[in-house]
Amino acid sequence: MGMNTLMSTDFNFPGQQSVYKGKVREVYTLENDILVMVATDRLSAFDVVMPKGIPYKGQILNQIATKMMKDTEDIVPNWLLATPDPNVAVGKACEPYKVEMVIRGYLSGHAAREYKAGKRMLCGVTMPEGMKENDKFPEPIITPATKAEKGDHDEDISKEDILKRGIVAPADYEVLEKYTRALFQRGTEIAAKRGLILVDTKYEFGKTKDGEIVLIDEIHTPDSSRYFYADGYAERQERGEAQKQLSKEFVRQWLISNGFQGLEGQTVPEMSDDYITSVSNRYIELYENITGESFVKSDISQLQERIYKNILAYLSK
């Protein structure tokens, strides 16, 4: 498949000070506290980056995230200034908090695995007895994770530990919690309009040079969130069936069924071109379901050049 994917970038912009390469995004820091964030087509699962990229994935994630930022900026300020290219977001440089604010409305994923193992406490929060996987919590619970260095797994942490270890100042943490609940509430309302349930998600925050706490990174994307289809949810719970999911869980399941869970000594299974195309199509379907808009494929014939030109044009303004 001669499909052009963006696996990495090596740009040099005027006033560039540093570049950070995350699992999926590459972040260029320029003078005047400007950040240029490029969403690549890399796919990460079990904290491992897959050898092949997924066509349009970067565009999809970037466009969902920037749309959701615009749809929540009235309740929580964010870092975003502009989107000069389908794969690019430009915004204010921030000092990121070293925690991910994970919030869960349902007993799913990691929480369900912990629950099955007999645990009733997650990140210092009590989970009620007698729940089945994918049941709704009485109230959404916040279960933070520490931001891992590259290659390490994020770790669960309680609010008490965050404060005790001085990872976040108490007054700031109150704001993070308040913003997390407000965003999840709004995300839940947006999802409901599209016939979806926002199951769980994570938010990341930073502080600007002016001391303002803002939302950073991506929000409400299939990489950072789990969605169920609302239609038939209750019936499936009643019958004890798996829920119809809208997340990258389908990739994780495929990897598990092919003997890979990111553990020591395991190798990533070969992904055929057909499989890659099917993942790309699933991501497009995710985009259309989450945003309620049809996806417009950008011209990817000269992907690197297009992105570079668009960023330069924006910076020269």
Q: In sequence order, what DSSP letters do the residues of 298-309 get, joined into one string?
A: ---TTHHHHHHH
Residue reference for tokens 């709004």: 186
Tokens at 72, concatenated: 């929540």
The predicted structure's pLDDT at residue 1 = 43
Give dist(CA 49, CA 44) in Å, integer.
4
Residue-by-residue DSSP string for 253-298: HHHHHTT-SS-TT--PPPPPHHHHHHHHHHHHHHHHHHHSS-----
Comparing CA positions, the residue from 206, 223, 225, 224 lying closest to residue 77 is 206
Q: How far is CA 289 from CA 109, 197, 229, 233, 278, in A?
A: 21, 11, 10, 16, 16
CB 128 within 8 A of CB 223: no
Per-residue pLDDT of the chain (317 residues), as tens digits, is 457 899 999 999 999 999 999 889 999 999 999 999 999 999 988 888 999 999 999 999 999 999 999 999 999 999 999 999 999 999 999 999 999 999 999 999 999 999 999 999 999 999 999 999 999 999 999 999 997 665 566 799 999 999 999 999 999 999 999 999 999 999 999 999 999 999 999 999 999 999 999 999 889 998 889 999 999 999 999 999 999 988 787 898 899 999 999 899 999 999 999 999 999 999 999 899 999 999 999 999 999 999 999 999 999 98
Q: pTM score, two decimals? A: 0.89
Helices and strands per DSSP (H, E), number in the chain: 8, 18
DSSP for 54-112, please give it: -TTHHHHHHHHHHHHHHTTTTTS-BSEEEEEETTEEEEE--EE-SEEEEEEEES-HHHH
